[in-house]
Amino acid sequence: MKIFILTKKTLALAAMLLFIALLSLPTFMETIETSVGAKELPIYSVETTEKKIAVTFDSAWNDDDIDKIITVLKEQNCPSTFFVTGDWAERFPESLKKLHSAGHEIASHSYNHTLYSTLSKDEIIADMDKCDSIIESTIGIRPNLCRAPSGDYTNNSILACKETGRYCIQWDCDSLDWKELTEEEMQTRIFSKVQPGSILLFHNGTKQTADALPGILQALKNEGYSFVKVGDLIYKENYTIDHTGRQYQASP
């Protein structure tokens, strides 16, 4: 018969392994949810027969190129949606007002870009409320659209949006402009994925975006696409979302 002696070293190792297992439990449970079909999804794109798409920007860095972007969007007749962080709105209230005055849609992108996968549902709701209150106090409109920082959504963040009357928005065409790609590289990425109902992702405060936008938007128009704000693209009620995040209008 074998006799196992528990030493202090063995107990310490067991405690460490238990601690690691507990830390991994949320990720493991989310994997299980995904495998059985319970994974919640944001809206990546919208099913539509019209060649309309939504151009979106995440604003969390600086506002150096806001005036130029506003000018380009006006010239290209491209109403857009800007997902701004609360601290960006605090630092650049005049730029936020300019975007709103130019007719663009303002949405939430968290208060300070804390990853929502690290927060509980209640903490996510509190963070969204904080961001939305800053936006509302600046432009008088409270957003009902939210994008998780870095697109790092979880079931908690989707449910936080649903339970508070918000819509969680992702994208299906990523320009990767923050990587300082050329206009040609960004355009190639977008055209490899774009379809009616697509949601495109750009950022302000990057090196190339403002200069690349005119050519990209004109190329999209040449293909017959028109631009709408996310709030005018998505279905607000009576809808389903498939496994790719594409939103469909449900039958009455």
CA angle 144–30–200, rounded 5-degree value = 40
The two tokens of residue 126 are 């509190």
Dihedral (Cα; 212, 215, 221, 226), 10-degree rounding: 20
Average pLDDT, the chain: 90
Lowest mean pLDDT among 27-31, 171-175, 194-198, 222-226: 27-31
Whole-structure pTM value? 0.85
Backbone angles phi, psi at 175, to 5 degrees: -70, -20
DSSP string, 3-22: -----HHHHHHHHHHHHHHH
Backbone angles phi, psi at 243, to 5 degrees: -70, -15
pLDDT at position 52, please?
98
The two tokens of residue 46 are 């919208």
105, 75, 93, 121: which is closest to 199 by C-alpha?
Answer: 105
Q: Is the pLDDT of residue 219 over 70?
A: yes
pLDDT in tens, 129-184: 999 999 999 999 999 999 999 999 999 999 999 999 999 999 999 999 999 999 99
DSSP string, 78-96: ---EEEE-HHHHHH-HHHH
Residue 209 pLDDT level (bands cut at 50, 70, 90): very high
- For residues 116 and 178, what is the distance between their CA atoms, to the nearest angstrom? 21
Burial of 182 (0-12, 13-18, 19+ CB in 10 A): exposed
pLDDT at position 123, please?
98
pLDDT at position 69, please?
98
pLDDT at position 54, please?
98
Q: Please give the average per-residue pLDDT across 47-74, as a whole number.
A: 98
- For residues 164 and 177, what is the distance between their CA atoms, to the nearest angstrom? 32
pLDDT in tens, 15-59: 555 544 444 444 444 444 433 446 899 999 999 999 999 999 999
- For residues 83 and 89, what is the distance between their CA atoms, to the nearest angstrom? 10
- For residues 167 and 184, what is the distance between their CA atoms, to the nearest angstrom? 32
177: DSSP letter? G
- For residues 157 and 40, what is the distance between their CA atoms, to the nearest angstrom? 9
What are the residues whose beta carbons fall under 8 Å from the beta carbon of 20, sequence distance 6 or more?
A: none
